[in-house]
Every structure is written in C-alpha cells, then in structure tokens.
C-alpha cells in the first residue's frame, strides 16, 4: 500500500485545511466500518440514505487521522479536517494522487450502455489476453486485478476503490483493463480521474430512471463519459487520439459520437445491420448473420474511410453465444480490440474461443428434454431480447420466471409484465431482490402491465396459446413450478438475477442462486419420474 503526506495529496484539490499537512496517509476510506488502524483519510459522502458526516466519530475511533468533509464538523485534537465543496469529486482526485495515477500505466477501456456491458468487457478482456496483453477486468461480476475474478459491490466501484484496483493491476504486470462504466459511476464522478483510451457505447434502454429522473438525463450521463476521452490529452505510452466505439444501431448514437468528437477522439461505428457506416468514420459491420441454438455466426467487415484499406478486410466470426444481441456485443468488443491494435483476424479467432459469461443466457443441463436458461435480464429491453432468443431456439413453449428489484425504477415493472405476457407462453411473476419493499406490492405492479395486455390472472398455456401467467412470490417455488411445467422442446427462462448468489430481503442478504435452484428442481423431477 502506498503512503503520502496529506499536503501532497491535496496539491490539485481546491480545499481549506485545518490541521497538519505533513501527516502521513496510508489508506483512503469512505466507509467508517472498514477503517482498521491509524493513518486513514476518511471521506464523508452525502448519500441518498446516509450522511457520512454522521460517522466521523466512529472513523476517528477506528484510526482516521484526517477527514474530508463538505460541511462544518467537530473533531478531536490532532485530527486534520479538509473542507471541500464535493467530497466524492475531491476523493477521486486524491485517490489518483495517492495511487500514483495508475491509469497512466494501463490502456484503459470503458464500456457504457444499458445492456451488454458485462459481456462486452469480458469478451474484450479475453481478446486482449489471447493477444498477449494481460488484461484486468472490472464490472458487475467483480474484478480481475492481480489474480482470479473476485466479487465486488458496485458495477463501477467508488473512485478510491477504482484507482486502487488499477494500482494492483499495474503492479501485477497487466497492460490493459476493461471496465463497465455505469451511469451511476459516471454521474457520481467515480470514473472522472481515469485516463481512458477507448470508450464503448452499447445501447440505451429503459433503466435507472429512479436515479436519473428522465431519459434525457440518462442519455446525457452516458454521453458525458465520452467527453472524458479528451481530459488528459497526449501522454507517453497512451493511445492518442483516443477512440470511441459506438453502436450505430442505437437511436442515441449521435449524442455519443458528438461528445466523443468534441473531445477530439476518433470514432469507430459498428452495426449488426451491415456496412452502413458514415464514410468519414471507420466502421465494423456484420452481414450474413445466422443465429441458432448452437450460437451465432456472421461475416465482419472492417472499413476505413468508407472503403476497405490495407488494414481493413473481412472475416467470418463464429461464437457459441446465442442471440442476435450477442452479434452486437461481439462487434463492440472487436471494435475496441481493433482500436487497441489487435488485428481483425486475431480478434475474430479470440471471439470464437470465448466461453461466455456466468449468468448470461447460461444453460442448466441435467439431461432433461427441455432447455433451462438462467439470465441476468432485469430491464424491459433485456427481457425482450432474451425472450426473443429463447423463442428462436424453442421447439415448444417458452416459460418465463421473473420479477423486479425493490427500491429501483418502478416504471419498468408493468413494461416487463407486458413484455413477458406478450412474448412467453407461460409467465410466473415472482420475487427478485425486494429490498425494503413488500414483494407482493412489486408483483402487483408487474401484473398491472400483464392485465392491461389481457393476460389471465392464473393458469398455464396448454393448447390455448400464449399469455397465461400466475404469481408465485416464493422464488424457489416459482422455479420449481416452471421446471415441473417443462415439456420436451420447451425453454424455461429464469430471468433477473443471473450470476447473483443472493437475495436482498430488507437489510438481509441471504444465499440464493437461480442455477443451484434450477439444478435441484431438475434432479427432483428426475427422481420422481
């Protein structure tokens, strides 16, 4: 762990200091519970549910020698107080200095968008590793820094944690890193002090409006990420100009491209709909797309300045990933790899060997004569995508088990209900992570969308067509019901939690893994057959 004087850490931070600038800082923290021993700088964040200023006494008792605050506080003698306007932004700058600006020693790619971030970052990291460039990874599933994948808390960690992970990666000899840049992480300044080399935009869907308020604000948060590409200018060993890789198939692509070009970044567009890019941009397009229950295949065309150049060309891409949306995800990863210097052929070869991401259209197979799929889909668009994919591989019916998280965007609940009712033969509305909300209330809001679409309140589709549904709040029982209902050729889709191994019930986190529950149900079904 590095060490630094408080004064050195504050050199580029507008502040008012009361205390000793020479005091040694050997750790940074924004959580008083995690301070363990003397020498810590504690940052008091003002959040939606708690104010860190209320925990300064605890932080000092645990060893904080300095506190970063945005309002007047009283502290014991000997504790330094640093007053700033915004503690989050200030800690981001401090962390950059504390860890020695580690992103300057890595080629950093940030992937933002509603859907596809996890698959794209995993795939890009896989491509870079296969190309001989050791790559770190940060996102929803956790992080790969010095060793294997380790669990994390946030999709995009707080700034101090993010800088610390970059520091570990550089120390471990990694040369590249792929990061999921969530809209929360962007809006809260967690990524502002990273020297990004490549930015990737996947898409905009209906999500996080509880935080951003409006779709316009949500789009702006994503666009602001691409303005960061010009923040640090040219630096030795870093990519210049920076590169933005943008999904031309998304209606909001222009906002991202404009932001990137305003930051003097080059733009690469990609499209799962073929070679329809802007002649002034480099473009990666897919033709001859084939999707099946065995995966996807297409021909990728790499065009520079509207034509195939000596560096451009075409290559066949084959992947075991299923669903047309993974054509787009793989193009995004290939586009970022091209920006980082990987050849089209090498990128395509690595995509073909990519094993997939846990909890992303993951099959659970116990020898049954129908498919069981677990997926993280938790937004209207992602649920529609996986149901479309399930329909494409189903020889019989599609059975969908899903819910919505509590204390999150309520407006998407009836939308997801309507999508499930329209696209599945039989839907089971259940509990997801209810958090502080009553699971019954959440399920009823989902059911509003289903009822408005003419769904029956109970029952199962048999010979009568799609749209039947029932409500089973106990998620374990809902999974068992869905699997007991499976027939030869059916697809049973368990959506919403994917890789997660827990349920959040009020303030408790209890173990729960959709894949484990599905396996247990399948084994029970086999035993009772």
CB neighbour burial string for 369-405, b if at least 16 within 10 angstroms, e if fewer = ebbbbbbbbbbbbbbbbbbbbbbebbeebbbbbbbbb
pLDDT tens-digit readout, 94-142? 999 999 999 999 999 999 999 999 999 999 999 999 999 999 999 999 9
Give the pTM.
0.87
CB 364 within 8 A of CB 515: yes
Q: Are 104 and 238 in contact (CB under 8 A)?
A: yes
Residues 129-181: tens digit of each pLDDT: 999 999 999 999 999 998 889 988 788 999 999 999 999 999 999 999 999 99
Q: In this structure, are residues 56 and 73 in contact, taking their beta carbons and an 8 Å threshold?
A: yes
| CATH topology assigned to domain 362-528 | 3.90.190
Give the pLDDT confidence score for residue 305 in this predicted structure.
64
Nearest Cα residue to 136 out of 114, 110, 112: 110
Which pLDDT does position 490 carry in this prediction? 96
**pLDDT-derived band at 459, boundaries 50, 70, 90:** very low
Beta strands 295-303 and 282-292 are: antiparallel
Would you say residue 508 has pLDDT above 60? yes
Cα 356–chain centre separation: 15
* pLDDT, tens digit (0-9, with 9 covering 90-100), for 284-330: 999 999 998 889 999 999 997 655 554 568 999 999 999 899 999 99
* Helix, strand, or coil (residue 452): helix
Any idea which residue has 């962007």 for tokens?
186
Query: Residue 32's pLDDT is what?
Result: 96
Let me know how long the chain is.
529
Is the model's pLDDT at 209 over the cut of 60?
no
Could you say which of 3.90.550.10, 3.40.50.1980, 3.40.50.1950, 3.40.1190.10 is the CATH number of the domain covering 102-352?
Answer: 3.40.1190.10
CA-atom Rg of the chain in angstroms: 24
At 385-395, the pLDDT tens digits run: 999 999 999 99
User: 408-449: per-residue pLDDT in tens?
Assistant: 889 999 999 999 999 999 999 999 999 999 999 999 999 999
Delimit the domains of the chain by residue range: 4-98, 102-352, 362-528
> Are the C-beta atoms of residues 148 and 174 closer than 8 Å to each other?
no
> Rounded mean pLDDT of 208-213?
56
Q: How confident is the model at residue 456 (pLDDT cuts 50, 70, 90)?
A: very low
Note if the bond before 241 is cis, omega within 30 degrees.
yes
CA-CA-CA-CA torsion sign (354, 357, 358, 364):
negative
Q: Supply 172's token pair.
A: 């471990």
Q: How confident is the model at residue 464 (pLDDT cuts 50, 70, 90)?
A: very low
Interval 220-275: pLDDT, tens: 989 999 999 999 999 999 999 999 999 999 999 999 999 999 999 999 999 999 87
When the pLDDT of each residue in the chain is averaged and rounded to a whole number, the result is: 92
Is residue 436 exposed (0-12), middle (13-18) or buried (19+ Cβ within 10 Å)?
A: exposed
Residues 408 and 396 sit within 8 Å (Cβ to Cβ): no
CA dist., res. 18 & res. 516, Å (int): 54
* Contact yes or no for 110/170 (Cβ under 8 A): no
- With a cut of 60, say whether residue 2 has pLDDT above it: yes
More confident residue, 522 or 208: 522
What CATH architecture is 4-98? 3-Layer(aba) Sandwich (3.40)
């Amino acid at each position: 762990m590095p060490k630094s004087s408080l004064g050195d850490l504050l050199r580029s931070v507008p502040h008012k200091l009361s205390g000793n600038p020479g005091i040694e800082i050997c750790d940074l923290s924004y959580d008083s519970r995690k301070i363990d021993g003397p020498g810590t700088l504690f940052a008091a964040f003002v959040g939606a549910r708690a104010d860190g200023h209320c925990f300064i006494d605890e932080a000092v008792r645990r060893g904080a020698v300095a506190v970063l605050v945005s309002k007047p506080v009283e502290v014991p003698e000997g504790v330094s107080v640093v007053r700033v306007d915004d503690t989050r932004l200030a800690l981001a700058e401090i962390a950059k200095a504390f860890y020695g600006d580690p992103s300057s020693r890595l080629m950093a790619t940030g992937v933002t968008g509603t859907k596809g971030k996890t698959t794209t970052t995993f795939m890009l990291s896989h491509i870079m590793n296969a190309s001989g460039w050791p790559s770190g990874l940060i996102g929803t599933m956790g992080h790969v820094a010095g060793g294997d994948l380790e669990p994390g808390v946030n999709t995009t960690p707080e700034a101090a944690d993010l800088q610390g992970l970059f520091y570990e990666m550089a120390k471990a000899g990694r040369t590249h890193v792929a990061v999921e840049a969530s809209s929360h992480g962007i809006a809260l300044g967690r990524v502002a002090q990273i020297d990004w080399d490549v930015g990737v935009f996947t898409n905009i869907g209906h999500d996080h409006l509880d935080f951003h308020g409006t779709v316009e604000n949500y789009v702006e948060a994503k666009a602001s990420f691409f303005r960061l590409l010009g923040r640090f200018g040219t630096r030795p060993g870093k990519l210049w100009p920076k590169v933005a890789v943008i999904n031309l198939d998304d209606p909001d692509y222009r906002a991202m491209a404009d932001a990137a070009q305003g930051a003097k970044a080059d733009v690469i567009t990609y499209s799962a709909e073929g070679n329809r890019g802007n002649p002034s941009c480099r473009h990666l397009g897919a033709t001859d797309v084939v999707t099946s229950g065995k995966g996807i295949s297409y021909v990728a065309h790499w065009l520079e300045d509207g034509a195939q150049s000596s560096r451009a060309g075409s290559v066949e891409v084959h992947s075991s990933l299923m669903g047309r949306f993974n054509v787009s995800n793989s193009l995004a990863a290939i586009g970022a790899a091209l920006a980082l210097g990987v050849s089209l052929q090498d990128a395509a070869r690595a995509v073909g060997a990519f094993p997939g991401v846990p909890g992303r259209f993951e099959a659970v197979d116990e020898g049954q004569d129908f498919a069981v799929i677990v997926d993280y889909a938790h937004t209207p668009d992602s649920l529609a995508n996986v149901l479309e994919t399930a329909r494409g591989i189903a020889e019989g019916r599609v059975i969908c088990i899903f819910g919505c998280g509590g204390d999150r965007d309520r407006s998407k609940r009836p939308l997801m209900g309507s999508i499930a009712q329209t696209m599945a033969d039989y839907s089971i509305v259940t509990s997801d992570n209810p958090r502080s909300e009553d699971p019954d209330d959440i399920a009823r809001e989902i059911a509003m969308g289903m009822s408005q679409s003419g769904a029956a309140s109970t029952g199962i589709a048999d010979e009568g067509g799609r749209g039947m549904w029932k409500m089973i709040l106990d998620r374990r029982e809902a999974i068992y019901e869905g699997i007991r209902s499976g027939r030869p050729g059916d697809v049973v889709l368990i959506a919403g939690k994917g890789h997660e191994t827990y349920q959040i019930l009020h303030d408790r986190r209890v173990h729960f893994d959709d894949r484990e529950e599905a396996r247990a149900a399948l084994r029970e079904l086999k035993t009772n057959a």
